Amino acid sequence: MASYRTEDGWDALGDPTRRAIIACLAERPRAVGELAAVLPVSRPAVSQHLRVLKDAGLVTDRTAGTRRVYRLNPAGVAALRDQLDTYWSRALDGFRDVTERPDEEES
Amino acid sequence: MASYRTEDGWDALGDPTRRAIIACLAERPRAVGELAAVLPVSRPAVSQHLRVLKDAGLVTDRTAGTRRVYRLNPAGVAALRDQLDTYWSRALDGFRDVTERPDEEES
DNA sequence: CCCGTTGGTAAGCCGTAGCTTACCGTTCGT
DNA sequence: ACGAACGGTAAGCTACGGCTTACCAACGGG
């Protein structure tokens, strides 16, 4: 609640690799090396992506010995979901405003 | 349901200008010129963004005379929302899996 | 019937996002 | 205490995404 958002969650999800990371972490928390082993990019690349995701509040990390375990942050995901809900409800209002016009061509 | 997704909705929302367009269209449907008048980019730029959003299934367009009115597509928005819901629920499972380890340092 | 309005497309420029390799700090095992 | 494992950072290259200007097609009003 009292957290700044240095990076936008949407920008963070704009990259396919980062979405793959999110999908991986959705299954279970993983260390950086595990993620790099699965993904088609190098470990430093994963590290950089994780930084972006962390700044966006989508993941949290936890040091376990020499390893660093990342996990999904449900709060961050929920925040984006709420935004979509807002767009969705407003879109419905927009639909109500302009009733069907028969002389127009649908896309 | 039976629609392909030529472009990914997340990629589409990865751009700030496109998110601004989405926000605009969430209020009410608008023509291309209207959007360009509000946004800080040229009309062709808006047109290109609208194409991406349309390919992603996030907006639909409707020809009205010489004008072309775009509106938000609630189905497309709902699809993304559902994906986030999936991530969210799986993340909760992940949290249950790994119980708190006191010797670790939180991020 | 012409002209103004509207908007999609082409061509091209430029910034930056993402990747790689190389390097360094930290932590644990033996 | 030394070395290996793990991971973050720096530097640099390349590709692509977004913007602009210029051009063209379509529809409508007077």
Return the closest-CA partner of residue B29 out of A104, A83, A97: A97
B28 and A94 within 8 Å at the Cβ level: the answer is yes
With a 7 Å cutoff on the CB, does B48 touch strand C? yes
C20 nearest neighbour residue (CA to C1'): A42
End-to-end CA, chain B? 41
Identify the pLDDT of residue A1.
52
pLDDT in tens, chain B (107 residues): 544 456 799 999 999 999 999 999 999 999 999 999 999 999 999 999 999 999 999 999 999 999 999 999 999 999 999 999 887 887 776 555 444 444 344 44
C strand bases under 7 Å from protein CB: 4-11, 17-22, 25-28
pLDDT (tens digit per residue) in A86-98: 878 877 765 554 4
Number of H helices, E strands in chain A: 5, 4
Residues of A in contact with B60 (CB under 8 A): 106-107
Here the tokens at position A39 are 């993904």
Position B87 scores a pLDDT of: 78
B95/A71 CB distance under 8 A: yes
CB of A17 within 7 Å of some strand C atom: yes
Long-range contacts of B85-89 (CB under 8 A, 24+ apart): B85/A81, B86/A26, B87/A22, B87/A23, B87/A26, B87/A72, B87/A77, B88/A74, B88/A77, B88/A78, B88/A81
Count CB atoms within 10 A of the CB of residue B17. 14
Domains of chain A: 9-97 (1.10.10.10)
The answer to whether B62 contacts A106, with C-beta atoms less than 8 Å apart, is yes
Cα distance from A73 to chain B (closest Cα, Å)? 7
| Residue showing tokens 């990259």 | A15
In this complex, the answer to whether residue A44 has its CB under 7 A from any atom of chain C, a nucleic strand, is: yes
With tokens 């449900």, the residue in question is A74
How confident is the model over A31-74, as pLDDT tens digits?
Answer: 999 999 999 999 999 999 999 999 999 999 999 999 999 999 99
Vertex A34, ends A33 and A38: CA angle to 5°?
Answer: 115
- Is A50 near strand D, with its CB below 7 A from some atom of it? yes
Sheet holding A30-31, edge to edge: A30-31, A67-72, A59-64, B105-106
